[in-house]
Amino acid sequence: MADSDSQGPKPDAVHKFVPERLGATELWKEAPIFMGTTKFDPLPDVGTIMITGGAGFMYDLHSSTLIEAAKIDELEYRIVCFDKLDYCATLNNHRILDAYANFSFFQGDIASPADVTECLEKYQIDTIFHFAAQSHVDLSFGNSYSFTATNVYGTHVMLECAKAAAIRRFVHISTDEVYGEVDEASEDLMESSILAPTNPYAASKAAAEMLVNAYWKSFKLPVMIARSNNVYGPHQYPEKVIPKFTCLLERGQKVVLHGDGKHTRRYLYAGDSVDAFDTILHRGSIGQIYNIGSADEISNLTLCSKLLKEFGLLETDNWISHSQDRPFNDRRYAVNGQKLCDLGWQQKTPFDKGLKITVDWYRNYGERWWGNIDHILGTFPVVKPPPLVLEHKLPAGLDSHLDSMLNDERRAMQAPRPTSANGVHKATNDKHAALRVNDETLSRPTVDGH
């Protein structure tokens, strides 16, 4: 954190460990402040809100919006940012909030019942926004265990601790990817649609939702779930496509698209997303799910063209190259957000406007904000995972077996992936066996002797 001056951390801020890359900097004082626009009457049963993953992208905007509302409208909300300061977090994202009396920071891990319980008790939390998650799809193909550990087990810890603390509202942040791929001819998916995730990240978020729903059904834990389209904006860690490509172009380097680049995503500016979360908190109903949908569906090729235009680069062929695709890459997602719109939310920021704000921010602050980002600008970045900590000792030999499987997973991600004539990827090592289902060849991992 910054030095303990008038705008530094308060004495009750809890920091167990601050990596060198998150050391003191005054950069945040130069950067513009971003917030949402919603304003609601206070909820009488909401006092202190815990925001998990609060040192990451977008969540600081949500904190700022709630705090500013408390300041202007004399609400009683207090905000506690709970974050373990993983690789994609930075204290720069919420330094501006340290001067507010109703803001506190607690360094903790959602996978640690002790950390979560300590925070809940210390600040007498009554409301939780559960944002914290491993969320980069590319990494989930080569480091899937950490996604299960954080997104599934971590959510389970949060739910169990919330139940014990008699939390009044638990808002779980999910993703549109839990629905899986949506054909172009299909209608936008409603909240009641079947979940059919296709990658390890999406599967872990769908599994987390099953736990959230179970705690609502079994224990009447007052939960709500939000499933959002792709959110973009300032402060996002540059492993995601818009900030990553912006940083590459700022360096004068080409951008690399997975596959043919025709995959589409619906993009939602962070400020509009924050308004959606605020609307769900103040007007949503317990036990309900809300899609947060955008009208801006953009292909990766079109996105690159728009980014190049922001840089004044018109010869696209000189700046765009293609690589092999992900093991599986959904062509598109499409959700129907009318249920949330019925509560009064609306998308306000056109994509071109939001993109310009975002590109300008990254060109001015991006690499200084995050420090050295060389290791994440490759086509398929790899972040070394922390050791998986289990409460119970594994059977003899199983820990080394899991390590071996993880290493195999990493090697498979880095190896060339030949395709057959019909475009189906062939298995590239003898640990994959073919499974015939409805005349379509899939591949599944097998473990010798198990």
Q: Which residues are catalytic?
A: 176-177, 201
| 224, amino acid identity | M
Tokens 């499933």 correspond to what residue? 227
Contact between 417 and 425 under an 8 Å Cβ cutoff? The reply is yes
Start-end of H helices in 197-350: 200-219, 241-250, 270-283, 300-310, 338-341
How many angstroms separate the CA atoms of 385 and 139, rounded? 10
First to last CA, the chain: 49
Can you say whether residue 180 is alpha, beta or left, with left for phi > 0 and alpha for psi between -120 and 50 degrees?
Answer: left
Sign of the dihedral through C-alpha 258, 262, 264, 270: positive
In the structure encoding, which two tokens stand for residue 155, read together?
Answer: 């959510």
How many angstroms separate the CA atoms of 169 and 202, rounded? 24
| 285, amino acid identity | S
In the structure encoding, which two tokens stand for residue 105, read together?
Answer: 């920071």
How many angstroms separate the CA atoms of 113 and 246, rounded? 38
Q: What is the DSSP string of 334-364?
A: -B--HHHHTTT----S-HHHHHHHHHHHIII
Contact between 77 and 68 under an 8 Å Cβ cutoff? The reply is no
**What are the angstrom distances between the C-alpha of 221 and each of 224, 225, 433?**
10, 12, 42
Sign of the dihedral through C-alpha 203, 209, 210, 212: positive
Of the candidates 163, 165, 79, the residue with the CA atom closest to the CA atom of residue 118: 165
Start-end of H helices in 12-165: 59-73, 113-123, 137-142, 144-147, 154-164
Q: How far is CA 290 from the centre of its chain?
A: 17
Q: How far is CA 212 from the centre of its chain?
A: 17
Contact between 97 and 65 under an 8 Å Cβ cutoff? The reply is no
The SS3 call for residue 52 is strand
255 sits in which H/E element: strand 255-258
